[in-house]
Amino acid sequence: MNISSNIASLQANQTFMNTNANNIANVNTDGFIPQSTQITDNGSTKSQTNITKEITDQVIISGVNEANVSAIRTQDEMFGTLLDIKA
DSSP-assigned letter for residue 63: H
pLDDT for the residue 49:
60
The whole-angstrom separation of Cα 71 and Cα 29 is 39
pLDDT for the residue 1:
53
pTM of the predicted model as reported, rounded to 2 decimal places: 0.51
Question: What is the mean pLDDT for each group of 10 consecutive residues in the chain (87 residues)?
Answer: 74 85 86 80 57 81 87 88 81
Identify the helix (H) or strand (E) that includes residue 46. strand 45-46
